[in-house]
């Protein structure tokens, strides 16, 4: 009989809404809708909040994001064209008053495996008169100096060419809320 009482108690407790729970006070309050900063505003609509000093544009809308994506593709195409142009350009490093010249070839980055560009010595020219009168140690130092000069010239040329992409990149990053365009 005690088994039957235990089973009946379990069944009653399980079917009862307050069998194992304490009564909780539920508070009902009028909730106002809130929007997170990650809310997607479709078709370019923007939050028109007059208290926002930036004009209410918290996040770019869907159409703005598509425009930014197209701009990013244009920048990638420009970068590829610049890389091709730089790889065909003759960049020369010199040492020993121009008696040693080393042609450095720019090797574009192979993304994503190798994100940094490379520089390769493609040609070495040494003045014959200098070669006859120089020691092996001085020749070695001059070759190293010429290679470093060539790499520095190549890096300067790359930085100069990439300046044209800088403003485009600032525009995209500013539009995404990442980095704001520089204030001049």
pLDDT tens for residues 167-176?
777 766 665 5
Residues in the chain: 184
Q: What pLDDT is stored for residue 60 in this prediction?
A: 56
**pLDDT beyond 90 at 129:** yes
CA distances from 93 to 59, 134, 142, 154, 162 (A): 48, 19, 11, 9, 21
Q: pLDDT > 70: what percent of the chain? A: 58
Rg (CA), the chain: 34
* The two three-digit tokens of residue 74, written as one number: 């244009």
State the average pLDDT for the chain.
75
Segment 123-138 mean pLDDT: 93
Task: Please tell me which residue, 16 or 138, carries the higher pLDDT value.
Answer: 138
Over 70: is that where the pLDDT of 76 sits? yes
pTM of the predicted model as reported, rounded to 2 decimal places: 0.56
Nearest Cα to Cα of residue 101 among 132, 142, 146, 153: 146
- Give the pLDDT confidence score for residue 9 in this predicted structure: 62
**Average pLDDT over every residue of 16-33:** 51
Higher confidence at residue 30 or residue 168? 168
Q: How far apart are CA 59 and CA 144, in angstroms?
A: 52
């Amino acid at each position: 009989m005690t088994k039957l009482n235990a089973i009946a108690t379990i069944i009653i407790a399980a079917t009862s809404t307050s069998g194992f729970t304490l009564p909780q006070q539920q508070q009902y309050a009028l909730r106002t809708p809130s929007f997170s900063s990650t809310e997607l505003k479709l078709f370019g609509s923007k939050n028109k909040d007059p208290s926002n000093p930036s004009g209410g544009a918290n996040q770019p809308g869907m159409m703005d994001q598509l425009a930014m994506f197209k701009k990013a593709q244009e920048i990638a195409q420009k970068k590829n064209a610049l890389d091709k142009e730089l790889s065909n350009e003759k960049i020369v490093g010199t040492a020993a008053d121009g008696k040693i010249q080393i042609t450095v070839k720019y090797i574009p980055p192979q993304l994503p495996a190798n994100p940094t560009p490379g520089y390769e010595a493609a040609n070495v020219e040494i003045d014959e008169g200098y070669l006859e009168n120089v020691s092996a140690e001085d020749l070695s130092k001059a070759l190293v100096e010429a290679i470093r000069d060539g790499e520095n010239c190549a890096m300067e040329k790359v930085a100069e060419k990439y300046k044209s992409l800088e403003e485009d990149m600032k525009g995209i990053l500013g539009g995404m809320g990442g980095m704001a365009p520089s204030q001049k």
